[in-house]
Amino acid sequence: MKQINIYAVIFMMLLWGMQSCELQSEQFGDVDTSIYPTTANDARDLVTSAAYSPFENDWYSGIFGAATGYFIDVDMATDYGYCSWDDGGGWNRLMFAQWTPNDTRNVTNIWYTYLNKISKMTLTIDRIQPVPMDEKLKAQYVAELRCGRGFMAFIQWDMYGPIVVSSLENLKNPMARVILPRLSEEETRDYIVTELTEAAKDLPYSYKKGDANYGRFTKGLCHTVLMKFYMQTKQWDKAIAEGRELMKAEYGYALLPSYIDLFTRAHEKNAETIFSIDCKEGTMENGWYPHVLPSDYHVAGVWEGGGWGGYKMTWDFFDTFEPGDERTTYIISEYTTKANVVRNRENRGTDGGNCLQHGVIPLKYALEPVAGDACDIDFMVYRYADVLTLLSEAIVRQGNTVTDEAIDLLNQVRTRAKLPAYTAGDFADARDFLDKLLMERAHELWYEGCRRQDLIRDGSYIETMRKKCLAYGQPFIATDDYTRFPIQESIIIQGQGIIEQNPGY
């Protein structure tokens, strides 16, 4: 992953060199393939830039960035998300479902910044076709690009609904101004499924720690995104099939024995990880620490203060954890400031960014020594516990019956957290099971981008946000349309009536 930006710069230098030496007009969408790419290494570099650079987490860069990334956008807009910063109301509108098409920082930004990356991947598929190289390797590179397109399309669809996808013909004629409409809902769904299904055919099952290609896309990632898509579209039979696929021995996935080890440097790239961002100090830095830690928080020799204390988990949600749940290990509900003031439930403080006034601190990643503010523990995107609990849910939703298998799948995750196993007698009916399972997922996967999807799939998102607004004395304006975010207003204006806004905005 650390090669992405380097080769992107080299590629642009090649283009600039051609222009400055020959003094000829350059079509922005054209690349002279007699010059670049011409070798297998060129193809790899081009694919790495096109397919992987959008999926970074490097401070403010990448769709998984700690500041403006996909996960933080969707998690803030749930019952546990809270931000202590006052930025003119933007964060407030996000966490209380009051957003508008003009909230560009954390509402419309994912569409505006990243949807066009699908076009870059499409062009790259075309550009590497003439390269003389091993055909099996070329097929894998094409599969990585198609996985990237399907993955990006799923994220965009999850947030905004139907997307815009340009044809190769249009992309190769960039000087012709063409405004493309959004695909239909059915066309968008077909695009996601087709790209991920075809990509999976030519990708390896998974990579293990130490593999040279660790961090590149895999069959496991394709099937995980497909499973999430089928869950959101309530195609329970297909979601079950994807879950069972991911349980096959060929993938090698398994729960890490200890939840506490999951988010540590020593245990990153473990068998539970399906896809993560390979973070390294000075190269790809996970900026989570300063976003959550208060400026007066310190651990001698590890963290000496300087955090911004923005992101919190609400006290109301924190109180839903059962006593003894190990998943609260990296949630800080009490700390001593550098001035020896104890912050806790009784003495929360009044400065939201430097105390526990608005909620507890979702540290998430083990606090380990770093040279600066950055965390270099790999940023978790998808892991096997997510798959097991989704499979459990799909089984119950499909038959409206609580089965032994569904209970066992749920218990694998629950008992790992040092909580007592459920028995069939613990559930009054299927609805009771689903309520308990969705809360288990919330406790297991906090700040991993799952809660909003879970609540929307369950049909309880709007009501959950209504209760959050009521608890905090906030006006509740969300309608059923707020299960999708709006498109940025400037895009709608530029679309001249061809690109339509989402309903309700």
CATH of the domain at 10: 1.25.40.890
Tell me if 43 is assigned to some domain. yes
The share of the chain scoring above pLDDT 90, in percent, equals 84
Domain of residue 176: give its range.
4-69+106-203
Q: Looking at the predicted structure, is the pLDDT value of residue 211 above 80?
A: yes
3-class SS of residue 5: helix
Q: What is the pLDDT confidence band of residue 383, given thresholds at 50, 70 and 90?
A: very high
Q: What is the pLDDT confidence band of residue 88, given thresholds at 50, 70 and 90?
A: confident
Q: Looking at the predicted structure, is the pLDDT value of residue 353 above 80?
A: yes
More confident: 71 or 34:
71
Question: What is the pTM for the complete model shown?
Answer: 0.93
Structure tokens at 475: 């006006």
Q: At what angle do helices 461-471 and 451-458 cross, to 10 degrees?
A: 120
Domain count, the chain: 1
Tell me if 218 is assigned to some domain. no
pLDDT of res. 461: 98
Tell me if 417 is assigned to some domain. no
Nearest to 397 by CA among 193, 186, 233: 233
Tell me if 441 is assigned to some domain. no
pLDDT of res. 259: 98
Q: What is the pLDDT confidence band of residue 30, given thresholds at 50, 70 and 90?
A: low
Structure tokens at 461: 């998102």
CA 239, 241, 244, 249 torsion-angle sign: negative
Question: What's the whole-number average pLDDT of the chain?
Answer: 92
> Dihedrals φ, ψ of 252, to 5°?
75, 20
pLDDT of res. 9: 35
> Dihedrals φ, ψ of 292, to 5°?
-110, -30
Q: Looking at the predicted structure, is the pLDDT value of residue 70 above 50?
A: yes
pLDDT of res. 31: 59
pLDDT of res. 292: 96
Work out the average pLDDT over 86-105.
94
Question: Pseudo-torsion of CA 238, 244, 250, 256, nearest 10°?
Answer: 120
pLDDT of res. 373: 81
Tell me if 437 is assigned to some domain. no
Tell me if 37 is assigned to some domain. yes
Range with the lowest mean pLDDT among 112-126, 149-163, 349-363, 383-397? 349-363
Pairing of strands 335-336, 342-343: antiparallel
pLDDT of res. 318: 98
pLDDT of res. 304: 80
pLDDT of res. 33: 64
pLDDT of res. 306: 84
Work out the average pLDDT over 191-208.
98
How buried is residue 383: exposed, middle or buried, by Cβ count under 10 Å (0-12/13-18/19+)?
buried
Q: What is the pLDDT confidence band of residue 4, given thresholds at 50, 70 and 90?
A: very low
Taking the C-alpha atoms of residue 389 and residue 387, their distance in angstroms, rounded to an integer, is 6
Work out the average pLDDT over 120-124.
98
Q: Looking at the predicted structure, is the pLDDT value of residue 176 above 80?
A: yes
How buried is residue 201: exposed, middle or buried, by Cβ count under 10 Å (0-12/13-18/19+)?
exposed
Tell me if 117 is assigned to some domain. yes
Tell me if 34 is assigned to some domain. yes
The residue count for the chain: 505
